[in-house]
Structure 1
Amino acid sequence: MATYAIGDIHGHLDLLKAAHDRIARDQAAHGGRGEIVHLGDLLDRGPDSHGVVDYLMQGQAAGRPWIVLMGNHDRFLPRFARQPGWVDAGLASGRHWLDQATLGAAETLASYGVEICADHARTHAEVLRAVPEAHLRWLENLPLWHLIPQALFVHAGIRPGVDLTAQAEHDLLWIRRGFLEDATDHGVLVVHGHTPVGKVTHFGNRLAVDTGAAYGGPLSAVVFDETGLHLVRGKGRVPIAPK
């Protein structure tokens, strides 16, 4: 059975549905179904984070073989709802999610009908009113990784040399330095998003799939099956080889 992976979505429901449509056509062309792994960062920056969460939740509830991993941006909304003063240790700025415009909180909250106020307490009250509890629970309980024989799927990457079961959540969601430049054979290909690339790129020990949907780029999808590793495009598959 094939396994598909989709990069960072960032509130772009239209791009997500288009990626699923490409995958459906690929499945029809290659005679089967397969699970779809979403590499996290469902929220922030794009126009419809609410719609993305609804769509993925409904698909899972309907029994679709969709695995949705947690990204670093997917913690901001539920953590704000539970702990309104929380600041993610991964933010070099040390600033709150609501106070750093480039993170995309305004777009996410607008998709739920909430406008950010200067008073965080008022914004927090509006979030508790407007954001379904089911959305918060679902986001809080997203898995951090998914493993198949050919690949390990994770949002940001792994700490080289650390057993998968001992990996820190912070690294799985935020790591760049110490992972991106490391050429170690991890024992399995690590498929990740988090760090945008101009195109899906195979670095030998890792596959970078975030092609910048948050910034106007495409939302890319890849597939692993018995024939190898391919990029799934509208006109068919394109083999992916290490650069």
Structure 2
Amino acid sequence: MRIYAIGDIHGRADLLARLSKSIEADLRDGEFDEAVTVFLGDYVDRGRDSRYVIDRLARRDFPTRIVTLRGNHEDEMLRYLDDPAMLEQFVAFGGLMTLVSYGVDPGREMRAGGAPAVHAAFLARLPQAHRRFLQETEISVEYGDYFFCHAGVRPHVPLDRQDPQDMMWIRYEFLNYPGDFGKVIVHGHTPHAHVQNHDNRINLDTHAFKSGVLTAVVLEGERRWFIDTAGQGV
């Protein structure tokens, strides 16, 4: 089996398209029976094209079967969809660009009717397939010696007992832990200039929104290598 895992996209549909082509080319190399791509979450906010990222993933438009995990930004978006009072927090997380990508003019709607008007306009423009996609995202998945989630896990807690909020939001308690988690944790959430390829975890958040570098790890047996939109393979 060959597994691809992709870090935080944050509305960069252009980078997703580029990385998809690189993975399609990579699939022609090697012998394996099955390939799957795990998306680690944070598809929305900050970048210009959140709508198009969600649309592509909801349609499963990718060279392999895909598993889509939930990031903290999808968690916030779902909270906002259920509660218009969450607008300020949603915008603080970069949701303004998500609203614009769906054709919402937040300034005009605020002048017309405040936060409820922004919320109503968003609901009117959000396809049901997109909302269903968000609701159906998974919190974690595991294959062999690898455990995949958005943010990480809490040390000293068995993987099958992890809190979903930790797996979407945890940061320093996880990042600063040098020990074994039971499996190698493949995650994103905390941006870094380069992939962090450690014995106990692999961080794939290469800050695609700002850097233009969206990164995937390829896992096959005991091998692991990386593909990114900067055209570098390691």
TM-score by length of 1: 0.87
Deviation at 1:236, TM superposition (A): 7.3
1:96 to 78, 84, 89: 89
User: CA separation in 2, counterparts of 1:112 and 1:237?
Assistant: 34
User: CA separation in 1, counterparts of 2:223 and 2:210?
Assistant: 30
Q: Which secondary structure state, in structure 1, belongs to the residue aligned with residue 21 of structure 2? A: helix
Deviation at 1:76, TM superposition (A): 2.4
1:180 aligns with 2:175: yes
Deviation at 1:191, TM superposition (A): 0.6
User: CA separation in 2, counterparts of 1:212 and 1:63?
Assistant: 23
Which residue is 2:30 aligned to?
A: 30
Contact 2:104 2:118 in 1 (8 A): yes
1:231 aligns with 2:213: no
Which residue is 2:129 aligned to?
A: 134
Letter in 2 for 1:96: Q
The alpha-carbon distance between structure 1 residues 30 and 227, as it changes in their structure 2 partners (threshold 3 A), is farther
RMSD: 2.0
Determine which structure has the larger helix proportion and give its number. 2
Moved >4 Å (runs of 4+): 233-237
Which residue is 1:8 aligned to?
A: 8
Deviation at 1:205, TM superposition (A): 0.8
Deviations 1:196-227 (A, max 9, x none): 11111112211111000122340001100025
Which residue is 2:99 aligned to?
A: 109
Which residue is 1:90 aligned to?
A: none
User: CA separation in 2, counterparts of 1:182 and 1:212?
Assistant: 22
User: CA separation in 1, counterparts of 2:228 and 2:100?
Assistant: 31
* Structure 2 counterparts to residues 206-217 of structure 1, below 5 A: 206-217=201-212
Which residue is 1:39 aligned to?
A: 40
Contact 1:39 1:153 in 2 (8 A): yes
Among all aligned residue pairs of Structure 1 and Structure 2, give the percentage whose two residues are the same amino acid.
36
TM-score by length of 2: 0.90
Unpaired segments ≥5 residues, structure 2:
none
Q: Which secondary structure state, in structure 2, belongs to the residue aligned with residue 178 of structure 1? A: helix
Letter in 2 for 1:26: D
Unpaired segments ≥5 residues, structure 1:
88-94, 239-243
